Amino acid sequence: MVFVAAGLSLLTASCMHDDSGGDNNDPNPAPNSGSGNTPSGTSGNNSSLIVGGTIGPGSVPVSNLRKQLAVTVLNPNSKFSFGTAYATRSSVSDEYAYVILPVTNIGTTPACFTKISGLTYRDASDTILDANNFTYVHGSVRDLSSGTLTLFTSTCLDPGEVGFFSDIVANIYSAVAKMEFDVQYSSDAGKAPGARVIPQSYSYDASLGTFGSLSIAVKNTGSATAQIGGLQELQFNTWYLFDQDERPLNWGFAIDNVTPTVLPANATGSMSDNVFIYSGSGSKLRVFVDFDDATATASLKPTPNTSTPVSQVCSVNLFPDALMACLNKQRNQRVAELKTIHERELVSGTRSQ
């Protein structure tokens, strides 16, 4: 799902150790272990909260498109704090649940490959609706290069940063009431990259008929060149639409029309989501840019086993919800493979400086 946008004011937005072995006015509020809405402020080196014009037709009240979920963290620890979890949907007839859960790193050190696993959804009677899912956080970018391997990942949270766990699950929206999971992360967090790709503005075009389009303008405010496209099998830029109180309304990927794919320091670029189908509306947008190192040669970058381009795996002929679910699954699978490659390299190589 993608948007198009421009000429709007920018607010800098604010934004888990691999222990494998480590939430207002909505209708039908549910008990939740989180502490409230997502705060504004800086979100690492790849995200901002943009406030601007209305996105979406607003033809359906938000109360018919969103509800809170109760959260159970099966291995709670002092590293993370969770906000309010929501299930949203694109229309009143849609049974795909778009799940959004904010998380804050309240520890003192960065965390990467931050993940919730054993993700299980239940109804109000505790009947399991869907189980054994996993998803990686959408967070800031860190450089985890080691040995001869160049690896950037946007699954990191620095101390104090807020990121989002997102999921999309078919045929559960009306029934889902609860979610439970384990938290895992890697304490090997590498270093901060030289690039900083910050979203600047958005524009929404509702003239395309069935679907709207969202376009997002970005700028590299860092000192190093960033790659923001051309690696679709590895890069998944993500947007989150919010209401005036910064409660989530919907989410999607902005991986269409990325230009230019290489962004030098101080240069600007854009990306879009050309299949925006949300029936409600909002005017706050938080975007995470999944950028990479543009200076490394292709031979030094990791190649996941899942090397078939996402555009071939997730056909544009799929119904939009099914396409979103496919993209989300591909993103999580490919991040998991990069994590395995990274761990293997750490055993055989040395950390790049």
Q: Are strands 248-253 and 226-227 parallel, antiparallel or unpaired?
A: unpaired
Highest-confidence segment of 20-29, 67-76, 267-276: 67-76
Residue type present at position 340: T
- Residue 158: alpha-carbon gap to chain centroid: 16
Q: Give 270's Cβ-side CA count (13 Å radius).
A: 18
- Mean pLDDT of all residues belonging to the chain: 83
Tell me the C-alpha distance between 326 and 336, whole Å.
Answer: 15
Amino acid at 203: S
Give me the pLDDT at residue 293, please: 81
- What confidence score (pLDDT) does residue 313 get? 78
DSSP codes joined into one string, 248-306: EEEEEE--EEEE-SEE-TT-EEEEEEEEE--SS-EEEEEEE---EESSS-GGGS---S-
Confidence of residue 208 (pLDDT cuts 50, 70, 90): low
- Percent of the chain's residues with pLDDT above 90: 61
DSSP class per residue in 10-37: EEPPP------------SS----SS-SS
The residue among 285 and 18 whose pLDDT is bigger is 285
Higher pLDDT, 172 or 277: 172
Q: What is the mean pLDDT of residues 293-306?
A: 65
Ranking 163-167, 296-300, 317-321 by mean pLDDT, the lowest is: 296-300
* pLDDT score of 29: 35
Taking residues 323-329, what's their average pLDDT? 92
Q: What is the pTM (predicted TM-score) of this model? A: 0.85
What pLDDT, on the 0 to 100 scale, is given for residue 298?
A: 57
- Quick one: pLDDT band at residue 179, thresholds 50, 70, 90? very high
What does the block give as tokens for 217? 């303008």
**326 three-class SS:** helix
Q: pLDDT, tens digit, for every residue of 212-237? A: 889 999 999 999 999 998 754 567 99
Domain segments of the chain as ranges: 9-348
Q: Note the pLDDT tens digit of each residue in 230-275.
A: 754 567 999 999 999 999 999 999 988 999 999 999 999 999 998 8
> Among 31-35, 99-103, 331-335, which range has the highest average pLDDT?
99-103
Q: What is the pLDDT averaged over residues 145-163?
A: 89
pLDDT score of 5 more than 50: no
Per residue, the 3-state secondary structure of 225-244, as one string, reads: CEECCCCCCCCCCEEEEECC
User: Residue 116 pLDDT more than 80?
Assistant: yes
Instruction: Give the pLDDT score at 4.
Output: 31
Identify the three-state secondary structure at position 218: strand
Q: Is residue 20 scored above 50 in pLDDT?
A: no
